[in-house]
Chain A
Amino acid sequence: MTVSHEWPLYEIFVRARGGLDHKHVGSLHATDAQMAIEHARDLYTRRLEGVSLWVVRSQDIVASDPNEAEALFEPARDKVYRHPTFYDIPSGVKTL
């Protein structure tokens, strides 16, 4: 096991520009949050990809259980009426 694998994993979120939300871009190893920010800056924003960074310890993320995917997501499959496709969109509205 190399040193880097003893470092905790962090998930990295980058905000591309003001007004947009932070998007998940990947993960990296770091000893602490400060180092995670610095590594994220070096790894994920070196080509002007962002104006803001979030880092979150991967272990702090609570994920849904893939085994429950059926129960969680399947029931939505036959409820097409939940999509707002039955409305007429007024012609003047541009941003909908």
Chain B
Amino acid sequence: MNAILDGDRGSVEAQRFDFVLQLADTNLILGQRLGEWVGHAPAIEEDLGLANIALDLIGQARHFLSYAGECEGRQRTEDDLAFLRSEHEYRNATLAEQPNGDFGQTIVRQVLVDIYQLELYSRLQSSTDPRIAAICAKALKETRYHARYSAGWLVRLGDGTEESHRRVQQALDLLWPYTAELFDASGSDRALAAAGIAPPLSEVSEAWHSRIDSLLAEATLRRPKDIPFRWQGRRGVHSEHLGFVLADLQFMQRAFPGARW
């Protein structure tokens, strides 16, 4: 595995920048995905619910991106980072860029990310990096609500009708392979944990799996088998879907550079 894929990128500062980008991009891309539901959700109440979560996520992404720009020290603003990077420079988890599918698939993707963020942020609150700690402490209040929303729906659909059960189980089987990446510690992840900037991913993994297991039991869903393959979105190697998300996300700034409104 080469140096970039191993996330072994030299100085703690470079690793910090990379880590903050991971936090930012997972929120940014998932927020963009949820935004695609606006006007299309199965009920107007859900339309607003999903849009609210999308806006929370994009708000969190803005905080992280601003801080990432400061860490990098090249005067890039949150907008520069959000709109003017190319695909391999995005550090979001591959799970976040997966298509919405039906409502059940969106809910499965959401609950997998929400519980991950819940466990990650609650530990990052005591990060030795005070900015990361502050952003996560604030974001955690929103994340608790997101998890309540998505977990509530997962149980309703999983333990619902025959069709809703079948559909969310299918979505879970489809998306499960993307979750291993979240806990796949690189050299950089280990260095950040040693510096107390981020928690050890093994600890997050354990907490996540235990929460997910009890949630799946409540939703009468079966936990899919793990596969050895690891996606590498957090290291800039993405699935075929991210390019299309970025085409939507970046169109305005690419077509009209510097446009403001």
Contact = CB atoms under 8 A, between A and B. Distances in A.
Contacts, number: 32
Contacts of B149: 38
B18 to A, nearest CB: 34
A41 B44 CA distance: 14
Contacts of A30: 45
A34 to B, nearest CB: 7
A35 B153 CA distance: 9
Given A31-B156, A34-B152, A42 B49 contact: yes
A38 B147 CA distance: 12
B42 interface: yes
Interface string B52-95: 10000000000000000000000000000000000000000000
Interface of B: 42-45, 48-49, 52, 145, 148-149, 152, 156
Given A4-B43, A7-B43, A38 B152 contact: yes
Interface residues on A, range: 10 to 19
Given A3-B43, A4-B44, A38-B148, 18 more contacts: A2-B43, A3-B42, A4-B43, A4-B45, A29-B43, A29-B45, A30-B45, A34-B152, A35-B156, A38-B49, A38-B152, A39-B45, A39-B48, A41-B145, A42-B48, A42-B49, A43-B45, A43-B48
A16 interface: no
B106 to A, nearest CB: 15
Nearest to B49: A42
17 contacts: A2-B42, A3-B42, A3-B43, A4-B42, A28-B45, A29-B43, A30-B45, A31-B156, A34-B152, A35-B152, A38-B148, A38-B149, A38-B152, A39-B45, A39-B49, A42-B45, A42-B52
